[in-house]
Amino acid sequence: MRIELSESYIESVKKEVKPHWGELGWVTYKRTYARWLEDEQRHENWEETVKRVVEGNINLDPRLHEKTVSTEVYLGLQREAERLFKLIYGLASTPSGRNLWISGTDYQKRVGDALNNCWFISIRPQAYGDSVIVPDYLAKDQKAVSMPFSFLFDELMKGGGVGFSVVEKNIAEMPSVDQAIDLVVLISKKNHDYRAAINAGAVDADDWYRAHRGEPYLFSETADSREGWVKSNALLIDAHFKKTTGPANRVVIDVTDIREKGKLIHGFGGVAAGPAPFVEMLFSINQVLNEACGRKLTSVDCTDVCNLIGKNVVAGNVRRSAEIALGSPVDQGFVTMKQDQEKLMDHRWASNNSVIVSPEFDDYETIADSISKNGEPGIVNMDMIQNYGRLADGRQEGIDGEAEGTNPCGEISLCNGEPCNLFEVFPLVAEEQNWNMDEVFALATRYAKRVTFSKYDWEVSRKIIQKNRRIGISMSSIQDWILTKFGKRLVTGFREETEAATGETVKAPVYNEAAVKAVEGFYNAVIGADKAYSEALGCGTSIKHTTVKPSGTVSKLAGVSEGMHFSFDKYIIQRIRFQDSDPLIPAIEKAGYPVEKDAYSANTMVASFPVKAEGAEMDHFVSANDVSIEEQFATQAFLQTYWSDNSVSCTITFHPEEKDKIAGLFRQYRTACKSTSLLPYSGHGFVQAPKEPINKAKYQEMKDRVTGNVQDIYSDMNPEHSSDQRDLEIVGQTDCVGGACPVK
Please write down the long-range contacts of 64-68, taking CB distance under 8 Å and 24 or more positions apart. 64/1, 64/2, 64/3
> Closest Cα partner for 5 from 109, 104, 114, 111?
104
Rounded to whole angstroms, the Cα distance separating 405 from 459 reads 19
> Closest Cα partner for 450 from 32, 41, 112?
112
Is 324 in a helix, a strand, or coil?
A: strand
Residue 513 burial (C-beta neighbours within 10 Å; 0-12, 13-18, 19+): exposed
Half-sphere exposure of 689 (CA within 13 A, CB side): 12
What is the torsion angle, in degrees rounded to the nearest 10, for the CA atoms of residue 457, residue 461, residue 462 and residue 466? -150
Helix spans in 390-496 (H):
427-432, 437-451, 459-468, 478-486
List strands edge to edge, sheet with 472-475: 93-95, 422-425, 472-475
CB atoms inside a 10 Å sphere around CB 515: 22
Is 224 in a helix, a strand, or coil?
A: coil
CA–CA distance from 559 to each of 364, 411, 487, 694 (Å)? Answer: 36, 22, 20, 18
CB atoms inside a 10 Å sphere around CB 245: 24
Whether the Cβ atoms of residue 396 and residue 389 lie closer than 8 Å to each other: yes
Rounded to whole angstroms, the Cα distance separating 727 from 174 reads 41
Contacts of 518 (CB under 8 A, 6+ apart): 485
The two beta strands, 182-187 and 203-204, are parallel
* Identified catalytic residue from 306, 409, 415, 673: 409
Is 249 in a helix, a strand, or coil?
A: coil
> Closest Cα partner for 388 from 404, 402, 399?
399
Residue 411 designated active-site: yes
**Residue 535 phi, psi (nearest 5):** -65, -40
Is 437 in a helix, a strand, or coil?
A: helix
The two beta strands, 675-680 and 651-654, are parallel
Rounded to whole angstroms, the Cα distance separating 557 from 541 reads 31
Rounded to whole angstroms, the Cα distance separating 415 from 422 reads 16
> Closest Cα partner for 283 from 195, 181, 208?
181
CB atoms inside a 10 Å sphere around CB 158: 24
* Identified catalytic residue from 44, 323, 411, 562: 411
Half-sphere exposure of 311 (CA within 13 A, CB side): 22
* Beta strands per DSSP E along 445-561: 472-475, 491-498, 505-511
Whether the Cβ atoms of residue 113 and residue 457 lie closer than 8 Å to each other: yes
Whether the Cβ atoms of residue 270 and residue 319 lie closer than 8 Å to each other: yes
Catalytic amino acids? 409, 411
